[in-house]
Structure 1
Amino acid sequence: MKRIVILISGRGSNMEAIVQACAAEGWPAQVVGVVSNRPEAAGLAFAQSHGIATAVVDHKTFASRDEFDAALAAAIDGLAPDLLVLAGFMRILGAAFVQRYEGRMLNIHPSLLPAFPGLHTHRRAIEAGCAEAGCTVHYVTAELDHGPMVAQAAVPILPGDDEHSLAARVLVEEHRLYPQAVRAVVEGRA
């Protein structure tokens, strides 16, 4: 049975989708922990209500990224994960942290990578005149949003779309795609 730890910063809607799919589909895995860098993250309540261990490592209480990364790694390692899943975790992780979990850390990014790494992806796709946008599940590497891809889903950009309407449609695809990709990884198919 693979042990999954999920990192969140906010409401945790992708985390919820993964937890629900794992239970409903009987994956050979279990979400054993949810860790947030923000104590007020709404997703923590969902995890607790489902009997999942939670931890908070508040980035604001550390003088440096290295100190935060070390504390975060200690919290994660205490849960002994086979797979680390970033689900709306809004902190850039240092190279040493990424290397520690290399090959077993996934992220979902709201663009069709390699297009539009970083922030404001929906606005940038619309401004560039793209016909479609989407999301990408990828392994995390030290280079931001450049790791090997596991899966992608495309969403058309419609006339009149703004970044909010596009983001809402992409999020629907994230909730479908991310659980599928995580399952493929835990089952050794990715």
Structure 2
Amino acid sequence: MDTFKDEIKNIKMLTRVIAVAVLVNFAILALLVGPDSVGFDPTYGPITAILNFVIAFCTSGVLMGIYVVFDVKKTFDLAHMHNVLFVAVCVQMIFALGSVFTYNSVFETVLDADTIGAVSGSITNTIFFLYGMYSYLLVTRDHKNLLSKRTQTVGKIFAGIIVPVSVLSLFGLIPAVVWGPLFILGGVILYPLFMIGIGDAIGNYTE
């Protein structure tokens, strides 16, 4: 019977899959779909939907690994945020393929793929906020210094960008010309780096 230690390499691999999937997804959205595209894209929509599903699915696995390695249950605020984020990621995973299923449905649907996509996308900023808060708590509660200094710095910068941007976006205070670059820096560059750093910490875990 495999133990958690036997599964470490698999959890570490998941962080790499997440990082690659995030970059590929962004490349498709930025270069092939285009920033001005609105609604479900029948050509690339299924690909980005599958990538989003993979990202969320792998993230749920990484969160389980974090729970063990960082002994999350011993810190109330981190444990609380961990549980909240895990649920949010599962919701994100469930919504990820909704537009594709709706678009390709052989039955009549009440809502079209564009509407389903808009509904699932409406929770994105909230999930970004949760990711930011979780990253901050994970770094600041890492009293055993399981994360490298570089990863701690990346996590703090990521949280420092994502949390304020998410809050300000709630009130429409972030101009589109500013939101885009901040999203790229936080979600496309720093987040994959942070996940890779977490994977390294999990990979170095010893019971």
The verdict on a shared fold, with TM-score over 0.5 as the criterion, is no
TM (normalized to structure 2)? 0.28
Considering Cα pairs closer than 8 Å and 6+ residues apart, tell me whether 1 or 2 has the greater RCO: 2
Structure number with the higher strand fraction is 1
Pair member with larger Rg: 2
